Amino acid sequence: MKIVRARDYDDMSRKVANIISAQVILKPDCVLGLATGSTPIGAYRQLAGWNQKGDCDFSQVSTYNLDEYRGLSHDDPQSYHYFMKTNFFDHVNIDQANTHVPDGSNPDADAACKEYDRIVAAAGYPDLQLLGIGNNGHIGFNEPDDHFSKGTHCVNLTESTIQANSRLFDRIEDVPRQAYTMGVQTIMFAKMIVIAANGSAKAQAVHDMCYGPVTPQCPASILQLHDNVVVVADEAALALCPAE
């Protein structure tokens, strides 16, 4: 793993956006794996600004998101389809037919997950996969478990994840209890992985991801076994990691 230190959230966002834009410039028809949540919003805004100035062209890019809540329609304001449109896709020149998010509106979990695995594999897996990391070390919605997951699957969200996501809902009762997520093995098929992290709440998870044992109790720790991983984190998120 390569660790890139950032001063704060804005600096982290610029550094992440720089890596993504370099990928797009070097391979205009690249496949990007994208993440949701509050962490990548700053990077998406930076990329949108560069796109609008003509510095980064997304017209040939295709994207595959990590996950989606089960039971939400694509136009639900809390869905990740909606999140990606409002925070990124509507602000860049990407062909939205080339953007993909698991179909949380499909009640048939097995069919929805198999179909998503099929299209991600057909695309050749991401050239660059962007990840956040949960307070409990989850990546995507792969929660701590007794094994590492493989393909896209339906997960029961842990209480800590439900609590963390409740800030985005009017009531905690409205937070979905299940989600469809790419599996850990699928994530590991990406050619390059970039993990963004900020804030002291992520410090233990970042330490365990980078320096702890490889264990499904910290799903992100599997990334130690990937040969092209860049961790971009601010000083607060790196507080428990040795200075390098």
pLDDT at residue 57 greater than cutoff 90 = yes
User: Which of 67-76, 90-99, 157-166 is predicted with the least confidence, judged by mean pLDDT?
Assistant: 157-166
Torsion angle of alpha carbons 2, 188, 142, 82, nearest 10°?
90
**pLDDT of 94-117, one tens digit each?**
999 999 999 999 999 999 999 999
How many CB atoms within 10 Å of residue 73? Answer: 11
Supply φ then ψ for residue 147, to 5 degrees: -155, 160
Instruction: Give Cβ neighbours of residue 60 (< 8 Å, ≥ 6 apart).
Output: 28, 29
Q: Please name the amino acid found at residue 44.
A: Y
Question: What is the C-alpha to C-alpha distance for residues 97 and 108, in angstroms, rounded to an integer?
Answer: 23
For domain 2-234, the question of CATH label 3.40.50.300 is answered with no
Tell me, what's the pLDDT at 174? 80
CA distances 137 to 125, 132, 188, 223, 241, Å, are: 23, 9, 16, 11, 15
Q: How far apart are alpha carbons 18 and 187 in whole angstroms?
A: 21
Mean pLDDT of the residues in the chain: 95
The three-class DSSP label of residue 33 is strand
Which amino acid is present at 29? D
pLDDT for res 244:
66
Catalytic residue ranges:
67, 136, 138, 143
Q: What is the pLDDT of residues 164-187, one digit of tens each?
A: 878 778 788 888 889 999 999 999
pLDDT at 162 over 70: yes
Confidence at 68, pLDDT banded by 50, 70, 90 = very high
Summarize pLDDT for 195-204 with one digit per residue, the tens: 999 999 999 9
**DSSP strand E in the chain: where?**
2-6, 31-34, 62-65, 67-69, 99-100, 128-131, 153-156, 178-181, 193-197, 229-234
Select from 38, 42, 60 the least CA-distant residue to 50. 42
Instruction: Read off the pLDDT of residues 119-152 as tens digits, 9 standing for 90 and up.
Output: 999 999 999 999 999 999 999 999 999 999 999 9
